[in-house]
Amino acid sequence: MYWLYEIINELYQNGILYLAIIIMSSYVILGIYSSFEMNTYLKKNSYVDYRWIMVSPTAPPVSLIAPAYNEEATIVENVRSLMSLHYGLFEIIIVNDGSKDQTLQRLIDSCNLEQVNFAVNEQLETKPIRAVYKSTNPAFAKLTVVDKVNGGKADALNAGINVSSFKLITCIDVDCIMEKNALLVLVKPYLEESERVIATGGVIRIANSCEVEDGQITKVHLPEAWLPRYQVMEYLRAFLMGRMAWSKLNGLLLISGALGMFDKEIVIKCGGYNHQTVGEDMELVVRMRRYMHEIDLPYKVKYIPDPLCWTEAPSTNKILGRQRNRWTRGTAETLWLHRKLFLNPKYGLLGILSMPYWFLFEWMAPIVEMLGLLATILMGFLGLLNIPSTITLLVMVYLFAVLMSTIGILFEELSYRQYTSRLDVLRLLMVALFEPIVYHPRVVYWAIRGNIDILRGKKSWGEMTRAGFGPTKK
């Protein structure tokens, strides 16, 4: 039986090592690509004054669409903040998605709204629109409010698209804080690329514990609670090291639902947001890319590393768990819906690289980790485990994870240096040490739960309770 033990042990150790090497290599390659892309981006924009776009008559007008559901507490403040964005010609479309509270009434009262005879061009199917409102106050000339029957975020966005006037649409979460120049920065790739840009997205940063004044971030702090801190670390790695690389390769599959600018014509031709999936943001981008391949037109999806949008990260395990559960389900649904692309050379890099990568390293990775853990436990019970070797392999994986996080912090220091306090940077470096042990297992667990929920047929978003950005720190 010794030979059997040897074979099992070899398979186990080889499996871990080779898988680890494959994952590590992919992260290293992505990291290298990201560094080149970041470098180019920072160089070419080092002396750009985005106000130029604002004053130019040739800058394309933009429709900003924000679904709102039960946002009575903050909707007026959010709308005022959006009204003050720096851009030449843009409209703001707030879609009240059947709120049960006073969201609509608050808007009507504060913005002097009255119902208008708006003929909606129903290019995308949505739940019925009850009314469209415009303001009698010229100060709110940019604002259109759509009141509709509840249909979910995707449905609300589609309604906003139907009502929008301009060729570029920006879809946002109404409770995020947008940087004043966000539209200016997002629109630039549409102007400077030779190929047609169909989507652009920017970095979403975490606003927990940041100082907020008049709807703007005035000073950035690392979150005081550990859970959001871990998420800061995740976001730095994902945005600065992951998405920049995919943008350079033109293989990006995801523009965050919190902030993305899209070519409306292509969105409509693809059928708009899919309200059958909880990952509607990723699914739309994949469908748009798929469409462009199928009509054989060159295109780009660009990612911008500038911090353009600030959001509140979940600060409890319950809420964060729901979010990650939904992200996993969204990823799985999208991969399944577009399984035809998988390893299909007709779809170029999208099919050959992006889809397999997301399948293996984004969706399957937690499953493989869980199976690895179970195998380790089983082998331990059976007395087949070579403990020193196993510990060595785990230490290797841990140190690599710490390295990647530290490089993510280094990227941040070389680029935007949002965390001006040295203490915050030190804390972030500490987070890198604890994250693989304390936080990552929870992420894996939630991802597994998400996959189980898919098998159970769960479709809901789950309630995402937000505490709000809180009082200004002094």
Residue 3 interacting with other proteins (CB under 8 A): no
Query: Considering only residues 340, 377, 413, 459, which one is a binding residue for other proteins as defined by CB under 8 A?
Result: 413
Question: Would you give the DSSP letter of residue 114?
Answer: E
Shortest distance, CB of residue 437 to other proteins, whole angstroms? Answer: 15
Number of residues that bind other proteins (CB under 8 A): 60
Question: Least distance (Å) from other proteins to the CB of residue 169?
Answer: 15
Q: Does 192 bind other proteins (CB under 8 A)?
A: yes
Interface residue with other proteins among 3, 100, 296, 422 (CB under 8 A) is 422
The residues in 158-187 that bind other proteins, with binding defined as CB under 8 A, are: 165-166
Q: Which stretch binds other proteins (CB under 8 A): 296-304, 398-406, 451-459, 465-473?
A: 398-406
Which residues are paired to 212 by β-bridges?
217
Q: Which residues inside 253-282 make contact with other proteins, applying CB under 8 A?
A: 265
Query: What value does the CA radius of gyration of the chain take, rounded to a whole number of Å?
Result: 23
Check residue 83 for interaction with other proteins (CB under 8 A). Answer: no
Q: Contacts with other proteins in 333-392 (CB under 8 A)? A: 388-389, 392
Among 101, 109, 114, 224, binds other proteins (CB under 8 A): 114
Of 250, 310, 309, 313, the residue nearest 285 (C-alpha): 250
**458 in Cβ contact with 329 (< 8 Å):** yes
Q: Count of residues for the chain?
A: 474
Interface with other proteins, residue 149, by CB under 8 A: no
Among 2, 3, 4, 43, binds other proteins (CB under 8 A): 43
Strands 143-148 and 90-97: parallel
CB of 328 to other proteins, least distance (A): 28
Cβ atoms of 279 and 334 closer than 8 Å: yes
- Please tell me the distance from the alpha carbon of residue 171 to that of residue 95, in angstroms, as a whole number: 11
**Residue 317, φ and ψ in degrees, nearest 5:** -60, -35
Q: Say which residue the tokens 């966000």 belong to.
A: 182
Judged by beta carbon, residue 21 or residue 464, the one nearer other proteins is: 21
Half-sphere exposure of 86 (CA within 13 A, CB side): 17
Instruction: Give the whole-angstrom CA distance, residue 462 versus residue 444.
Output: 19
Binder among 1, 2, 100, 117 for other proteins (CB under 8 A): 117
Query: Among 7, 11, 22, 89, which residue sits at the site for other proteins (rule: CB under 8 A)?
Result: 89
**Residue 101 beta carbon to other proteins: minimum distance, rounded to whole angstroms:** 26
Beta-carbon contacts of 56 under 8 Å, excluding residues fewer than 6 positions away, are 88
Q: Which residues contact 132 (CB under 8 A, 6 or more apart)?
A: 115, 116, 118, 120, 144, 145, 146, 147, 163
Tell the smallest beta-carbon distance from residue 203 to other proteins (Å).
19
**What would the two tokens of residue 54 be?**
């604002």
CA 123 to chain centre: 26
Among 23, 353, 370, 410, binds other proteins (CB under 8 A): 410
Q: Which residues would be at the binding site for other proteins (CB under 8 A)? A: 13-14, 17, 21, 24, 43-44, 46-47, 49, 52-53, 55-59, 61, 89, 91, 114, 116-119, 121-122, 134, 136, 141-142, 165-166, 188, 190-194, 265, 388-389, 392-393, 395-396, 399-400, 402-403, 406-407, 409-410, 413-414, 417, 422, 425, 429
